[in-house]
Structure 1
Amino acid sequence: MANLKSIKKRIVSVKNTRQITKAMKMVSAAKLRRAQENVVAARPYAGKLAEVLERLAKTQESDANPLMVKRDGGRALLVVVTSDRGLCGGFNANLSKAADRFMKERKGDFSEMTLMTIGRKGYEFLRNRHTVRKHHGNIFSTLSYQTAALVAAELIEGYLAEEYDEVFIIYNAFRSVMSQDITLEQLLPIAPKAGAEEEIGTEYIYEPSKGALLDELLPKHIEVQVFKALLESVASEHGARMTAMDAASKNATEMIAKLTLIYNRARQAAITTELMEIISGAESIKG
């Protein structure tokens, strides 16, 4: 009988867990729709701004702006974007391991490598493995463009002060609910991508000058890239959590079915044992 009570208690416990995972899945699904809309809205602007900068940069010298100057100091900063909360499968662990692997593989290329972490999970994983220069936590609950602008300003200020010579960012790019791609990009120095030159005969009139436009757009470009990375990470987090909670709910359902079967068998065995005892007692009385 004690065994039956234990099994029944486990069934109740798993059912309660399933209610929680189902609720978390529904919450993530609701948040995912809005996060996905934000990502879809941000991508065209970020892409067009990068295109304009690329066209401008190709016509300017590499030292036209301090943010385009390549230095040989060999100090690198990696910005790692994870989440503040768990229960989202391998979302945080996979990205943190990728950041750790990047730091180890590129260690010989730089005289110094440090981290800026955005999100508590990445910070907890990396703080005892590498030097964390700065940590930003609890920014996703009130995420806005102003938040991204402040982070970008910190990166630009440190780069101009020559605290580091290259800046990279690693984050989960949203592809679908089931798929998130770990993406590594270089933020600083800004360099035009290698590609086809402008078509012959294509001319543009710039007002104000190209240099003035670069001075205005380059910091804006860093802000937009950071904001886009944060939006991608938020959407990826909700997608990963939705998938993880759906899998957890299904596993709970399967476990409940197995435990119920075990309970019924144990209960049937207990009833059979009691009947056998009653029959044996009756037979002994007759004898």
Structure 2
Amino acid sequence: MPSLKELRARIAGVKSQRKITSAMKMVAASKLRRFQKHAEASRPYADAMRRMLSELAAATAGQGELPRLMQGGSGSTHLVVLLTSDFGLAGGFNANLVRSVRQIVSRLEADGEIVQVLPVGRKGGDAMARLFPTKLVERLPGTAGREVHFQTAADLGARVTQMLEAGEIDRVTLVYNRFVNAMTQTPTEAPLVPLPVPENDNQTENTAQYEFEPDEGELLARLLPRNIQVQFYAALLESAAGEQGARMTAMDNATRNAGKAIDDLSQRYNRSRQSNITKELIEIISGAEAV
């Protein structure tokens, strides 16, 4: 049985941990409000751009050679871009994503594709280096819990676009956590290249007709790289909000558990102290009777 000194030390240690987790919870809650606002504001624009270009892909299907950013390459190399956090203490935020990527890689390889992985964020980089060292393209840093700037998404989009144009990859899929609320972040698989075609748009009567102004080549050369950047930016915002929500929930649970541990240790401390006092009283009374 621990001594009173050991119990006091453990109580003090848990109280110190509770202060830390409580502070981290408040910091995450403060960031969450700001990141959630940005993520929700980006959704209509990103969804509209994705829908427009998907309809454009359906309308131009079968019209000869199209840009690689629209139809992908003719090979079988598939790039999976994974967005995770740089830091832990966020519950299952990163573990759920890693589990999803393992399933995606297994499915793609079963379909005969050659998979490459591009992790963004230290946690994802560590996991991919451990699980798929031969498939790792490179490891890119995340946002480290700070504000997400569009330039970060632009740089990532430029890197992926360069790989597509160089023929290093043929298809691209983005995997990230979509923010639902502070307690729920949904691992999401979003195909970027080739552009997903809306269902039923292969029917002539349902396919939109487009006239290009300026010409088709110039317009697509501007829109397609921009779309990849916008989708990356929206996903980075979703991931940032989800990270703070997951961390706030995890730290709230940790703070509650620390409180329960303190109550349990305090109860054990009081019982031990009472037992020691009773033992000392019995010894004193026994000694007095013997005299």
Cα separation, 2, equivalents of 1:114 and 1:236: 25
Task: Tell me by how many angstroms 1:205 deviates.
Answer: 5.9
Work out whether 1:13 is the aligned partner of 2:18.
no
**Alignment partner of 1:136: what SS?**
coil
The TM-score normalised by the length of structure 2 is: 0.91
The TM-score normalised by the length of structure 1 is: 0.92
Alignment of 1:223-238 (within 5 A): 223-238=229-244
Q: 1:162 aligns with which of 144, 167, 170?
A: 167
Task: Tell me by how many angstroms 1:206 deviates.
Answer: 4.7
Cα separation, 1, equivalents of 2:261 and 2:36: 33
**Alignment partner of 1:167: what SS?**
strand
- 1:49 counterpart residue number: 49
For residues 38-86 of structure 1, the C-alpha deviation after alignment (integer angstroms, 9 at most, x for no partner) is 1011001111112222333332235332322343411111111110000
Compared CA separation, residues 155 and 107, structure 1 to 2 (3 A): same
- 1:145 counterpart residue number: 150
Cα separation, 2, equivalents of 1:195 and 1:266: 74
Opposite residue 253 of structure 2, the aligned amino acid is: A
Opposite residue 61 of structure 2, the aligned amino acid is: E
Task: Give RMSD over aligned pairs.
Answer: 2.2
For residues 11-31 of structure 1, the C-alpha deviation after alignment (integer angstroms, 9 at most, x for no partner) is 111011000000000000000
Opposite residue 190 of structure 2, the aligned amino acid is: E
Q: 1:183 aligns with which of 185, 188, 193?
A: 188
Opposite residue 270 of structure 2, the aligned amino acid is: N
Task: Tell me by how many angstroms 1:162 deviates.
Answer: 1.1
- 1:23 counterpart residue number: 23
- 2:86 counterpart residue number: 84
Deviates more, 1:111-120 or 1:4-13: 111-120
Opposite residue 277 of structure 1, the aligned amino acid is: E
Opposite residue 234 of structure 2, the aligned amino acid is: K
- Give me the identity figure in percent: 41
Task: Tell me by how many angstroms 1:210 deviates.
Answer: 4.1
Work out whether 1:277 is the aligned partner of 2:267.
no
For structure 2, the residue ranges without an aligned partner over 5 or more in a row are none
For residues 230-269 of structure 1, the C-alpha deviation after alignment (integer angstroms, 9 at most, x for no partner) is 1111100000000000000000001111111111110000
For structure 1, the residue ranges without an aligned partner over 5 or more in a row are none
- 1:207 counterpart residue number: 213
